[in-house]
Structure 1
Amino acid sequence: MRVEGRGTFQNSVQVKKALQAVVANGTHDLVVDLERCPMMDSTFLGTLTGAALHLREKNGGSLSVLNANARNLQLLSDLGLDHIMSVDTQGNAWPEERELACAQLATCGEKGASCKLEHTQHVLQAHQTLADMSNINEGRFRDVIYFLEKELEEQPELATS
């Protein structure tokens, strides 16, 4: 999968669905190309983390990150995610696949909006996944998780959607 543009809460639901679809079709190892992704937010990082953990637990699979810029490498390292994902810092992993992807990879054109409930639940789950990775991360995302949980509790349209 190639991420085109910023990896944010706005496109993370679609990324999660795409990753789930390829795993459901029998894929065990996923490669995420971040060459065209200038930055990632915590929701997007939590989405990738959830996918990596699911692959590892379900079938011993893996999630590899390629072509991450310095900013994204720092985020992956600071949050301890480089321990559950294979992060190619040298630019030499998957050489044949990289060449093939550059020649054939098309971006996903689906940018449909998900409902607010699904989106809020997804953002909460992504942050809980990151918080579960370490005590430091738990402290970093405690407030975000709290406010998302309150939003789900206090919005009747979210609770009944």
Structure 2
Amino acid sequence: MAGFTACTTDRQLDTSTPGPLRQAPISASRRQAIVDEALFYRETSGIIYIKAQGHITANTCADLKTRVFARLEAKPPVEDILIDLGDCEYMDSTFMGLLVGFNKRFLRQSEKPLSLLRPNETCSKLLRTIGVLRLVNVRTDTITFPEPMENINTGHKAGTRLILNAHEDLIELSDENEQRFGVLRTILKDGLANEDDDQAPDIPD
């Protein structure tokens, strides 16, 4: 995987050349420009609003999956999902995998994709390379989000299962993603099996 990790906090993916995604260091000035990472959430009138800010990684979105999946399984059905990426400096593969998972579940009930708003050049390139951009609706217009929004970046660590499921959704998209994330999937599955073994109750003789 050429050093690619599921949760990166001080590097960005280099997609300038074909093959596995590689990491390139961010300069000191670039790092200073990155705003505090946060994910904001609100639902109103049947529309889920999500705003990503800064450098979005697996640990940033640990609680986002639970919130969105639970809502998509509830009634009444969600009418739309709008995700504002205008202030998102960077996203890792786990967050992109979550976007794919959200879109899959939303399509089942609405027969239309979720919308990504105002992604910058870096994020657009990442989303295009992984194959996410062709699945969703991309909008460049400005939509007024409701205020206030809840910051759901609680600092909880992303679990192995969340990261594994996100990458399995990415792997389903293409053979290229299988090459990029196949080894990582194996590592995560092994880690999950070890976690399950550690948590298994003792069986008396």
TM-score range, shorter chain: 0.7 to 0.9
Change over 3 Å in CA distance of 1:22–1:154 after alignment to 2 = closer
More helix by share: 1
Equivalent pairs, count: 149
The answer to whether the 8 Å contact 2:62/2:157 transfers is no
- Name the SS for the 1:146 alignment partner: helix
The answer to whether the 8 Å contact 2:171/2:178 transfers is yes
Is 1:140 the equivalent of 2:169? no
CA distance in 2, matches of 1:159, 1:73: 43
- Name the SS for the 1:105 alignment partner: coil
CA distance in 2, matches of 1:159, 1:36: 43
2:126 to 72, 75, 81: 75
Query: Which residue number corresponds to residue 110 of structure 1?
Result: 152
TM-score if structure 1 supplies the norm length?
0.81
- Name the SS for the 1:142 alignment partner: helix
Residues 19-45 of structure 1: per-residue CA shift (max 9 Å, x gap): 224433521321100111111000000
Equivalent position amino acid for 1:43 in 2: T
Residues 94-152 of structure 1: per-residue CA shift (max 9 Å, x gap): x5xx1x31xx3334233345577xx1100000000000111111111011111101111
Give the unaligned 5+ runs of structure 1.
Answer: none
Change over 3 Å in CA distance of 1:80–1:111 after alignment to 2 = closer
CA distance in 2, matches of 1:65, 1:12: 16
Equivalent position amino acid for 2:198 in 1: E
More strand by share: 2
- The answer to which of 74-83 and 41-50 deviates more is 74-83
Change over 3 Å in CA distance of 1:151–1:82 after alignment to 2 = same
Change over 3 Å in CA distance of 1:148–1:45 after alignment to 2 = same
The answer to whether the 8 Å contact 1:28/1:60 transfers is no
Mapping for residues 23-38 of structure 1, pairs under 5 Å: 23=72, 24=74, 25-38=76-89
Give the unaligned 5+ runs of structure 2.
Answer: 1-49
2:65 to 16, 39, 56: 16
**Bigger-Rg structure (1/2):** 2
Identical-residue share of aligned pairs (%): 26
Q: Give the C-alpha shift of residue 47 in structure 1.
A: 0.3
Query: Which residue number corresponds to residue 150 of structure 1?
Result: 190
Q: What is the CA RMSD across the aligned residues, in angstroms?
A: 2.1
Query: Which residue number corresponds to residue 64 of structure 1?
Result: 115
CA distance in 1, matches of 2:155, 2:107: 29
Q: Give the C-alpha shift of residue 158 in structure 1.
A: 5.4
